[in-house]
Every structure is written in C-alpha cells, then in structure tokens.
Amino acid sequence: MRASFVVPSWDGLAVLRECLRALALQTVDCEIVVVDNGSVDGTAQAVAEEFREVLLVRLEENVGFGRAVNLGAERATGDVLLVVNNDAVPAPDFAERMVAPFADPAVGMAAGVLTQRPHPDRVDSAGVELDVTVGSWDLGWNAPVASLGTRTPAGPCGGAAAYRASAWRDAGGFDPALFAYWEDVDLALRLRRAGWASAFVPGARALHRHGATLGAATPLQRRLDAFGRGFVLGRHGRDGVVAALRVAVLDWPVLAFDLLVARQPDVLRERRRGRAAGRASRLGPPDASLLTVSFAEALRRRWAFVARRLRRGRPAQQLE
C-alpha cells in the first residue's frame, strides 16, 4: 500500500520545514501533500522552491484544520492517508509502521504516538480515549513512552493519524463544521459506527511541538474547543438526566475557569452553537465499549487539568 501524507499549515513555515525534512527521510516512498491554509509568512513560495517533490495546495484564506485536510485528501492518491500536524517531526519509519496495520481489511484507521518536544521520552498523545460523556482525552498523556501498552484507542489523534483512503472518502472526511479540535473524535466515532476497526501503532512516533499553531489555552483555542465539545455532545452524546448531570459536573470546572479567570464568556455561546450544530445531524451515543474512561477517572483528570491552568505551569492537556 502506498501512503500519502497530508500536512495542513498556517503561518508555520519554520516548523513546517522541519516536518517536511523528516518526511523526505521516510523509509518507504510516500506522496506528500501540503495545504497552505492562507499563510502570509511565505510558506507557499518556500515550499515550492525548497521541496519540489511536494504537492502544494494553496488556499487564499484559513479554512481551518479539518477543511484543509479534506482538500489535501482530495488531491492525495495513496491507499492510506497519513495526517500529521505541521509541528510534528515523524521518525524515519513512521509511514512504514503506520501503513502496516492496513493489511487487515477490517482496519479503517490507526493511531501513532506523538511525543513531547521538550521531553521526547514522554507521551503527548497516543490516540483518543473517551469517557462516559464522550469526552476526549489523549491516551497516555505525560506517561513515559516506555510504559505504553497495547490498549487500542477509540481512534487516532489528528496530529498523527492514518486512515484507509476508501473509508475516509465514504465517511466524508472531517466534518467541515469543525474549524479545529474534535474533528478527529467525530470522525473516529463515525468510522466505528460504519464498522471500521481502529489500530494502535506504538512504534510509530513523532516529536510534537504542542500548541505551535493556535497556542495552548488561548482565547481562540478555548472558543474552538467549546464549539467542538458541544458538537460532539449534540451528535454523539447520550440524552437523559443522569447523562446531563455527568456532563455538567465534568465540564463546568473548565467553563467556570473560562468565565471567571480567563473572563471569556463567549465560550458559552460557542458551546451552545456547537451543540445545536451537532444535534442537527444527530447519530446517537456510540457503543459503550468505546467509553473506556470511567466517570471518576474523568473527574480526577478534569480537576488536574484546571489545577494546571491555574498554576500557569506547563501547557495543560488538550481536550480534543
């Protein structure tokens, strides 16, 4: 099987250069598609001049992560789509390892491992795991890479993901309603619903410079995260009083932080907009076997997340 890398980039020429140099060193032949998402930092010219083997898709404006990947996927010709962030630096055998699981015709997606740029022995994300409210968590976040087991995530993180091209196209790719964040969660749930299995490839690794594009916990990131969480709840969440109470207990610590500490009331508006958009195409809750994080564990992680924000220490784990 031949792989096609799809790399969206917005005003990130320095990190994109590093990513493309790494992709040029892959141990198997790969197509590389870069989607310049309306950059004004000379990305398009630099890629055209310095990386002539790259297929460049130039957009006049920033259409968001998901839409940019969709446009790149339309131009890709590989059997497997490898979606990576422009601030990721894949190891030379990344593509070779990520393509291997697709020899199994049941596999529709696969998750690689992003490691933390300042601490390469620590996990940034080993795919997406879901709690009982369909909340998303980075599998293995901040754990030693050496401690990763073989537990398969619900789906891949969009920063280091592989998708069977035919499954991707049948599903319609990332939902264009999601500008950034949660698009990988929504697609994983739709692919699972269509009967596709997810694979975990712990040996496929890429260094990741967390938050290089939108930043960690910036006002824009908070708005997009709120919309995405609302969208996934509207489309895939469970109805009922108990479900609503669990969502409230888990989500209000973060929303309260945004309202009282960050002084950003627009996150509530975006949350409501996202939920309405998700309910317009409601699919219902996923199979319970995909919800592997208990309510108690999710609550513990949520309070730890808020505490990290309050301490203004290292970037908090992203909910995506």
Could you report the per-residue pLDDT of 247-258, keeping only the tens digit for each? 999 998 888 888
Listed in sequence order, the residues at least 6 apart from 311 whose beta carbon sits closer than 8 Å to its beta carbon are: none
Sequence-separated contacts (24+) of 299-302 with Cβ below 8 Å: 299/249, 299/250, 301/137, 302/250, 302/251, 302/253, 302/254
User: Which residues, other chains included, contact 125 with Cβ-Cβ below 8 Å and sequence gap of 6+?
Assistant: 113, 114, 138, 139, 140, 141, 157, 159, 160, 208
Banded pLDDT at 261 (limits 50, 70, 90): confident
How much is the pLDDT for 298? Answer: 96
245 vs 219 pLDDT, higher one: 245
What angle separates helix 241-256 from helix 266-279, to the nearest 10 degrees?
150
Q: What is the mean pLDDT of residues 272-287?
A: 98
- Determine whether domain 3-208 maps to CATH 3.30.70.380: no
**105-119, 211-225, 240-254, range with the lowest pLDDT:** 211-225
Where residue 210 falls among pLDDT bands split at 50, 70, 90?
low
pLDDT value of position 253: 85
> Residue 93 pLDDT > 90, yes or no?
yes
Contacts of residue 160, Cβ cutoff 8 Å, sequence gap at least 6: 83, 84, 85, 88, 90, 111, 112, 113, 114, 125, 204, 206, 208
User: CB-based burial of residue 280 (10 Å sphere; 0-12 exposed, 13-18 middle, 19+ buried)?
Assistant: exposed
- Looking at the chain, the number of H-run helices and the number of E-run strands are 10, 11
Find the mean pLDDT for residues 276-286: 98
Residue in 192, 187, 183, 190 with CA at minimum distance from that of residue 274: 183
**Does the pLDDT value for residue 20 go beyond 60?**
yes
pLDDT(215) > 60: no
Rounded to 5 degrees, φ, ψ at 66 are: -60, -50
Q: What's the chain's average pLDDT? A: 93
Angle at which helix 241-256 crosses helix 295-311, to 10 degrees, equals 10
pLDDT at residue 316 is higher than 80: no
CA separation, residue 149 to residues 20, 145, 189, 290, 303 (Å): 29, 9, 22, 17, 25
CA end-to-end distance (rounded Å), the chain: 29
User: In whole angstroms, what is the distance from residue 270 CA to residue 276 CA?
Assistant: 10
Residue type, 84: V
pLDDT tens digits for 29-83?
999 999 999 999 999 999 999 999 999 999 999 999 999 999 999 999 999 999 9
Q: Burial level of 128, CB count in 10 A (0-12/13-18/19+)?
A: buried
Mean pLDDT of 178-202: 98
HEC secondary structure over 266-301: HHHHHHHHHHHHHHCCCCCCCCHHHCCECHHHHHHH
**Conformational region of residue 153, where left means phi above 0, alpha means psi within -120 to 50, and beta covers everything else:** beta
- Which pLDDT score, from 0 to 100, does residue 313 have? 41
Whether residue 154 contacts residue 192, with contact meaning beta carbons closer than 8 Å, is answered with yes
236 neighbors 155 (Cβ within 8 angstroms) = no
CA pair distance 113, 95, nearest whole angstrom: 12
Return the domain boundaries, the chain: 3-208, 219-311
List Cα–Cα distances, 197 to 102, 164, 293, 319, in angstroms. Answer: 10, 11, 19, 23
Q: For position 317, what pLDDT does the model report?
A: 44
Report whether pLDDT(211) > 70: no
- The DSSP bridge pattern shows strands 160-164 and 30-37 to be unpaired
Res 206 pLDDT > 50: yes
